Amino acid sequence: MNIPREASGTNDGEAGKREQDRGLSAVLLWSCPDRKGLVAKISQFLFERGGNVIDLDEHVDRSDNTFFLRVAWDMRGFSVPPDKLNDAVAPLAKEYGARWTIRLNDRKRRLAIFVSRLGHCLQEILWRLELGEFEAEIPVIVSNHEDLRPIAERYRIPFHVFPMTKEIKEGVEADELKLLQRENIDTIVLARYMQILSPAFVKKYPERIVNIHHSFLPAFAGANPYRKAFERGVKIIGATSHYVTDVLDEGPIIEQDIVRISHRDSLDDLIRKGRDLERLVLARGVRLHLEDRVLVHGRKTVVFG
């Protein structure tokens, strides 16, 4: 297991800001069967090596007796050098049967944004990046249409168009993956990208493809959720940010939000209100991912907000 040398903090949120302000820091995400003394054991491990804890949060899922932890610490004065962190943690993780990752904040994550014709989610991500809320870089925007090229040009980000049909899908995805590899992309953000990624594509970026779906999942998965909601006469609509898996719209959920509607709202009203939710929910999901605040546990997540 190699340590991804990536960003783990942003200006959005006091904990993330503290981590960033203190210089080089590390974040450990950990899950294992619950037992007494785990927080003390991990804290002692860091203390003995000179680690100053910046932020610590933990949770126990009583349904399956699983312990989850996120801890960030200042690497200044830490006796273990960054390139030896995995070796140092591995014996402790083995002892407790843990699933774990460590990330350092010494390099910004590199995001690829995938879009189609709707630009509201793309605009939100680029705006927040410009404001400094995301500790990330966006070296490329990928689309299956030309419509949003002006937005990319406004932000001086290379815009790559890959027209997509079922007949050429495999070859197009192969070309897209070559581009992502060339640009050293860490995470893909689907900002209303109206294409279904193949299992082979998804496999290349496990738990690193963040999607926005325009409904409160698991309700109204798939296409045309606003029309389905309108026809059903629902009183609440929502948006869901989730990781992409092989099963459409069933990946582990990162963030959700809702807005109330009534019989007075038309289908166009639902779409308008929903777009406000989509851009905000996607931005929150991206931030949580960038700050390493999401632990995937089967079909669910534990999110340390």
Q: Which residues are catalytic?
A: 249
Determine the Cα–Cα distance for residues 16 and 12; give it in Å rounded to an integer. 7
Whether 221 and 215 have beta carbons less than 8 Å apart is answered as: yes
Determine the Cα–Cα distance for residues 113 and 70; give it in Å rounded to an integer. 27
Whether 53 and 69 have beta carbons less than 8 Å apart is answered as: no
Q: Count the residues in the chain.
A: 305
Determine the Cα–Cα distance for residues 297 and 287; give it in Å rounded to an integer. 19
Determine the Cα–Cα distance for residues 112 and 122; give it in Å rounded to an integer. 11
Residue where the block lists tokens 């995805």: 173
